[in-house]
Structure 1
Amino acid sequence: MTEPLLSIRDLTKTFGGVHAVDGVSLDVRPRETVALIGPNGAGKTTFYNMISGRMMPTSGSIHYDGDEITGLPPHRISRLGISRSFQITNIFQELSVRQNVEVALTAYHGKALAMLRLASRDREIIDEAYGLLERLGLEALAEQRAGVLSYGDKRLLEIAIVLATRPHLVLLDEPTAGMTPEETRHVTHLIRRLADSGDYTFLVTEHDMSVVFGLADRILVMHRGQRLAEGTPEEIRNDPEVKRAYLGEEEEEAAS
């Protein structure tokens, strides 16, 4: 069996004696898409923050590609090949779509951000930016100001910015939150296509169960900071504990 790209053991985070995450372990293998689900307050965001270096674990370990990264700062973790999107779009509203991607590429290539004004003269940056925009279906919007994009296109732009750092592991935090059904279908199809390319490994948090079951190879369910269940989409769909703690709640909300 392939060695895990990401290996998490007994990860714990306490706040004033309260366990936000309590001894959770997870392996994510190369080119796999793993979904992390659970009700609000389950500890998903805290879990993500520890993986991406934005929060120091109280105990436990995180290994990436065989090396321990527990407690490393975000910029070092990003350099190793882990990039994260956020629930709220994180883009430069006044820059063009192309310029947003060029900012990320300029930083990735170690060039001073002050040199961004010269990006239009840098053929390598230009070509790479347009290539990423084409891959996400945004090439026609390259010169559009990012602030006037539809919400769905802003989320796609954020994914393009994440991919500009050339990650091997992509953490997507609620990628379809706030989208229309059509936008959700489009973004789900895009993520599936990126996953099928074999270029990326994904760890995704998502509340929309149709998105989760459409994307995930495996699912980790968290409840009250702990690991409740882990398995294939079919195993999770039929797990009685998951139904009681989470999926039943989702179905009731959908029916109300």
Structure 2
Amino acid sequence: MTAATQDIILQVTGLGKRFGGVDAVANVDLDVYRHETLAIIGPNGAGKTTFYNLLSGRMHPSSGRIVYEGRDITGMPPHEISRLGISRSFQINNIFEEMTVRENVEVAVTALRGEGRRWHNVASRNRDVQADADALLERLSLSELADQRAGVISYGDKRLVEIAVVLATRPKLVLLDEPTAGMTPDETQRVMQLVKSLGQSGDYTFLITEHDMNVVFGLADRILVMHRGQKLVLGTPEEVRAHPEVRRAYLGTADEEMAP
């Protein structure tokens, strides 16, 4: 991504969140460029989850501003932020396990259309809803699971269904929270290839929190390292891997800990 093509989709200025006398997030500045994949890493307690909660509207900041596509969204509720084009996945599966895989995606499609309260009747009669859901399942290679109950599929497939639900809201900016946590190596590779493919499509911008450094260095265009609620380093994977403060504060001093 060259300087000429950089287009800021999200601008965070002086963002902070204080709980009592503790700063969970402190004075963070960040520009996110359209169509990039930006990974956010840091040790437990670094402020990553709180930062996500602020961006998605689940928490109100104590200070600072969040501007999305030129619009100030600071303090907006989550449903309004989602409708503007920012969607988030969670560390824990957030799907309806008693429904089929297709029905889970249809819920999100109908909610996007403002028909969430009567989603089942709408989905069962609306061929456009069904077509949108099936197209998304095909894109994520989940078509064979469409009629299976979500509660009985594998853990890795459940995470993919959650990503499908997120994408069904037609976001421009996708926040993925530990997307490969608990996965087998094969499942992790599948998610990595999916995110890489979606990123290369030009349809999405990704923010990813992740503890697996192979995933981080394999996917990220840039990496933000947080430490004690603050921005420690922001740069390319090569810059972050070589940074002495990152080695000491998070990645460790052994070269093998930083290998992509």
Same-fold status (TM-score > 0.5): yes
Q: Distance in 1 between matches of 2:201 and 2:257?
A: 35
Q: Which residue of 2 aligns with 1:160?
A: 164
Q: Does 1:231 align with 2:235?
A: yes
Residue 11 of structure 1 aligns to a residue whose secondary structure is strand
Report the identity percentage: 66
Q: Distance in 2 between matches of 1:56 and 1:249?
A: 36
Q: Which residue of 2 aligns with 1:46?
A: 50
In the TM superposition, residue 240 of structure 1 has moved relative to its aligned partner by 0.7
- 2:140 corresponds to which letter in structure 1? L
- 1:79 corresponds to which letter in structure 2? R
Inter-CA distance 229–133: structure 2 relative to 1 (3 Å threshold): same
- CA distances 1:58-92 after superposition (whole Å, capped 9, x unpaired): 00110000110000000000010000000000000
State the superposition RMSD in angstroms.
1.5
Which is worse superposed, 118-127 or 244-253? 244-253
Q: Distance in 2 between matches of 1:103 and 1:93?
A: 13
Q: Does 1:176 align with 2:180?
A: yes
Q: Does 1:110 align with 2:114?
A: yes
Q: Distance in 1 between matches of 2:57 and 2:188?
A: 28
Q: Which residue of 1 aligns with 2:10?
A: 6
Contact 1:7 1:63 in 2 (8 A): yes
Q: Does 1:74 align with 2:106?
A: no
Contact 1:83 1:170 in 2 (8 A): yes
Inter-CA distance 253–242: structure 2 relative to 1 (3 Å threshold): closer
- CA distances 1:228-253 after superposition (whole Å, capped 9, x unpaired): 10100011011110011111189898
Q: How many residues align?
A: 254
Q: Distance in 2 between matches of 1:215 and 1:140?
A: 27
Q: Distance in 2 between matches of 1:84 and 1:132?
A: 17
Q: Which residue of 2 aligns with 1:222?
A: 226
Q: Distance in 1 between matches of 2:169 and 2:122?
A: 20
Q: Distance in 2 between matches of 1:92 and 1:23?
A: 37
Contact 2:111 2:119 in 1 (8 A): no
Residue 67 of structure 2 aligns to a residue whose secondary structure is strand
Q: Distance in 1 between matches of 2:254 and 2:31?
A: 26
Residue 5 of structure 1 aligns to a residue whose secondary structure is strand
1:186 aligned to which of 187, 190, 197? 190
Q: Distance in 2 between matches of 1:17 and 1:252?
A: 37
- CA distances 1:112-168 after superposition (whole Å, capped 9, x unpaired): 432413422211011100000001110000000000010100000000000000000
Q: Does 1:86 align with 2:81?
A: no
Q: What TM-score, normalized to structure 2?
A: 0.95
2:141 aligned to which of 123, 127, 137? 137
2:152 aligned to which of 148, 161, 172? 148
Inter-CA distance 249–187: structure 2 relative to 1 (3 Å threshold): farther
- 1:209 corresponds to which letter in structure 2? M
- 1:201 corresponds to which letter in structure 2? T
Q: Does 1:27 align with 2:26?
A: no
- CA distances 1:182-219 after superposition (whole Å, capped 9, x unpaired): 10011011000000000000011000000000110000
Residue 153 of structure 1 aligns to a residue whose secondary structure is helix
Which is worse superposed, 242-251 or 227-236? 242-251
Q: Distance in 2 between matches of 1:14 and 1:109?
A: 36
In the TM superposition, residue 3 of structure 1 has moved relative to its aligned partner by 3.1
Inter-CA distance 124–56: structure 2 relative to 1 (3 Å threshold): same
Q: What TM-score, normalized to structure 1?
A: 0.96
Q: Distance in 1 between matches of 2:188 and 2:103?
A: 25
Inter-CA distance 251–52: structure 2 relative to 1 (3 Å threshold): farther
